[in-house]
Amino acid sequence: MTHLLAPARRRTRLVATAALTGAVVVAGAVPASAHERWFTENTDGGDWGFFFSALPLGLALLMAVVTVVWRLVATRLPRPELGVLRPLGRLAPYVPRLLAIHLGISLLVFSVTGAFLTPSLPLDDVPGRYVAGVVQAVIGIWLITGIRLRAAALGVVLLGPPALLTAGPVALLETAGLLGIALFLAVVPPSDATFGRVEPSPERLRVALLALRVLVGTALITLAFSEKFTNPELARNTLEAYPQLDVFALVGIEVPVDTFIAVAGAVELLFGLLVISGAMPQVAVLVAMVPFNATLLLFGTTEVVGHLPVYGVFLTLLVYGSNPSTAPGVAWLPSVADLRRLRELRPGRRPAAVAAATRA
């Protein structure tokens, strides 16, 4: 009897996954990833009244529910969820090297074009701008070379304080994804083997991926709030300057500007939550690539360079998520037992097993 029910269960799971993915694809058609500060004059944010109005708050809560359902559905699917993409998993040993190249190119181009960590932060505004620009360029070149990248990753971390002093904590959170890449490379750096090939232990890889996911997701969620949910004026100015961004109008659907802003912010929030979740990484990345590529023709090189580290992160999640041996680590979240083990490893604290043996 069980073997007769199995196909029906598989069909049910397939339909549920397709429906959920379809809903996210439709939402992802909104180009939420175009960073307003890169292309329009900045405005003061902090307008929480907009976020706490009915539509933005309701959409934000809905995105949280979608994320929970997404992860629950993922527990009932095989890993990887899209078997056709399994060949991509063969790139897994080379991912740290590729990710470092993505970040390195961005940092180098930022220095050349007069930006610091992001296109929206002029290098001229940074304390010691000439030194900061040279240091950023050197770290970028170092990351591209792939040689001894743990120290280069530390260098990326040290770029944070100048950004904090210049633009404040919100801007630093917006670039948290760069810190996530740096931490990943510090835990899983490329080796000296051909093309930086490295095969870390599952434990080390899952910790590196967790740090990457949490910080990249934090950056996306921060942008959803700082450029849309709590800064609707900035979003309105962007839509006025670039009406092509309103995909609803392009297909003949007229919606109020603030409705579009709420939907765009909700989409960016959803992608941040999905990245942190790590569930169904293949599907999540393929869907996220829609809005992240939708604005390339409109904004050109600035958009490509600014998003290059994010593309590297998407490649990382897609490749590891396509490899049967590493896919479980992409969605790993620490359990209570894992956190307890971490507490026991604190300096001066004896592990429970040792303490019990001593008492005996």
Task: State pLDDT tens for residues 14-66.
Answer: 555 555 554 444 444 455 555 555 545 566 667 899 999 999 999 999 999 99
Please tell me the distance from the alpha carbon of residue 223 to that of residue 236, in angstroms, as a whole number. Answer: 15
Task: State pLDDT tens for residues 136-149.
Answer: 999 999 999 999 99
Residue 5 has pLDDT above 70, yes or no: no
Percent of the chain with pLDDT over 70: 80
Residue 253, pLDDT score: 82
- In the predicted model, what is the mean pLDDT of residues 322-341? 89
Please tell me the distance from the alpha carbon of residue 98 to that of residue 239, in angstroms, as a whole number. Answer: 34
Residue 354, pLDDT score: 41
pLDDT band of 245, cuts 50, 70, 90: confident
Residue 351, pLDDT score: 47
Residue 118: beta bridge partners? 116
Report helix angle 257-277 to 202-224, nearest 10.
170
Are 97 and 328 in contact by the 8 Å Cβ rule? The answer is no
- In the predicted model, what is the mean pLDDT of residues 277-297? 86
Are 123 and 116 in contact by the 8 Å Cβ rule? The answer is yes
Task: State pLDDT tens for residues 95-104.
Answer: 999 999 999 9
Residue 304, pLDDT score: 79
Please tell me the distance from the alpha carbon of residue 216 to that of residue 176, in angstroms, as a whole number. Answer: 6
Q: Is the dihedral of CA 173, 174, 178, 183 positive or negative?
A: positive
Are 308 and 119 in contact by the 8 Å Cβ rule? The answer is no
Residue 237, pLDDT score: 87
Q: Is the dihedral of CA 60, 61, 62, 64 positive or negative?
A: positive
Task: State pLDDT tens for residues 310-327.
Answer: 999 999 999 999 999 999
Are 280 and 72 in contact by the 8 Å Cβ rule? The answer is no
Residue 105, pLDDT score: 96
Task: State pLDDT tens for residues 174-185.
Answer: 999 999 999 999
Q: How many helices (H) and strands (E) does the chain have?
A: 19, 2
Please tell me the distance from the alpha carbon of residue 306 to that of residue 293, in angstroms, as a whole number. Answer: 12
pLDDT band of 1, cuts 50, 70, 90: very low
Candidate from 10-14, 113-117, 203-207 with smallest mean pLDDT: 10-14
Residue 35, pLDDT score: 56
- In the predicted model, what is the mean pLDDT of residues 82-106? 96
For the chain, the domains span 31-359
Residue 163, pLDDT score: 86
Please tell me the distance from the alpha carbon of residue 199 to that of residue 96, in angstroms, as a whole number. Answer: 10
Task: State pLDDT tens for residues 210-233.
Answer: 999 999 999 999 999 998 999 999
Tokens of 342: 């971490």
Cβ neighbourhood burial of 349 (10 Å; 0-12, 13-18, 19+): exposed
pLDDT band of 68, cuts 50, 70, 90: very high
Cβ neighbourhood burial of 146 (10 Å; 0-12, 13-18, 19+): buried
Residue 358 has pLDDT above 50, yes or no: no
Residue 43, pLDDT score: 61
Residue 115: beta bridge partners? 122
Tokens of 318: 């897609």
Residue 292, pLDDT score: 78
Q: What are phi and psi of 324, to 5 degrees?
A: -55, -30
Residue 316, pLDDT score: 98
Percent of the chain with pLDDT over 90: 60
Q: What angle do CA 69, 314, 115 make, to 5 degrees?
A: 125
